[in-house]
Amino acid sequence: MILVIGATGILGNEICQLLAAEGKETRAMARLTSDKMKVRKLEQMGITIATGDLREPDSTGPALKKIDTVITTVSSMPFSYVPGDNDIQHVDLNGMKALIDNAKAAGVRHFIYTSFSKQIDEDIPLRNAKRAIEQYLRQSGMAYTILRPSCFMEVWLTPAVGFDAENGKVQVFGDGRKPVSYISYKDVAKFAVRSIENPAARNAILELGGPEMLSQLDAVKIFEEIEGRKFEINHVPVEALRKQMNAATDPMQKSFSGLMLSVAKGDPIDMKEVLRDFPVRLASVRDFARSTAAIA
């Protein structure tokens, strides 16, 4: 049986949909405070629900019973972040370490963990927690797969971070000319599911990107072509991003600033080798731009 943690998030939910479509026996761990509608939709897929909370290590035991593979996409950032409670220290670091310990004790054979690209190297709380967990997992003795996706296009090419295609206004980090391998979360979900049985995923770190290495300005041009109009572009200098990161006292604010700075520096990922082992048809930025234009 497969346990998905983070199943009410966009990536975890997509993973559950793929597993359900394949008829895989799947359990999802959800907190008592999880969105009831999202939990109900998981149940309608045929997913079994177990209650658990990474902040309370003893609560994860029932969810881990008779589990062969754990897939975790959970993070306190950005939507459920609560300083001093549901935050990077309690969830992304301490909670994840306890989960790994409990999974090993429960006899889990394969642990699939979602991190992010190796080229995100700023000294920020979220990045530091992710790298610490990667190392902890690798030393756990369980077979592991570490997924390191680049920027989700459904996040970084949306108003959530200042890319407002609908209103033709875009915030670009740095000069906007460094290549980034934007990837769809739906493709990351495919890699997660295929990692369950693919031998190439065992004890492996998979750097994941989309089909192209595009700069932020390249992405803007694609949206402009599809929208049929020019966008207003506002550049946020690297110096301003670094100043903002260094001045931040809240771990989430510091991490967001660091991630924006990483995008400014670029995040290119060559997918040739990975695609030889995992023949996934990758969605492009143009695909995404067309889909958002169709919705609008």
Residue partners of 197: CB distance under 8 A and separation at least 6: none
SS3 215: strand
SS3 226: helix
Calpha distance 33→18 (Å, rounded): 25
SS3 91: helix
Neighbours of 285 (CB within 10 A): 22
**What's the average model confidence in pLDDT over 266-273?**
96
Helical packing angle, 216-227 and 285-295, nearest 10°: 40
Neighbours of 163 (CB within 10 A): 20
pLDDT at 293: 78
Query: How would you list the strands of the sheet with 169-173, edge to edge?
Result: 163-164, 169-173, 232-236
pLDDT tens sequence across 31-43: 888 889 999 999 9
**What's the average model confidence in pLDDT over 192-200?**
98
Does residue 294 have a pLDDT over 70? no
Question: Pairing state of beta strands 143-149 and 204-208?
Answer: parallel
Amino acid at 251: P
SS3 107: coil
pLDDT at 240: 96
% the chain with pLDDT above 90: 92
Query: What does pTM read for this prediction?
Result: 0.95
**What is the band of 266 on the pLDDT scale with cuts at 50, 70, 90?**
very high
pLDDT tens sequence across 249-263: 999 999 999 999 999
**What is the band of 76 on the pLDDT scale with cuts at 50, 70, 90?**
confident
Calpha distance 270→218 (Å, rounded): 17
Amino acid at 42: L
pLDDT tens sequence across 106-123: 999 999 999 999 999 899
Calpha distance 40→27 (Å, rounded): 13
Omega cis (within 30) before 159: no
pLDDT at 296: 55
Does residue 88 have a pLDDT over 60? yes
pLDDT at 58: 92
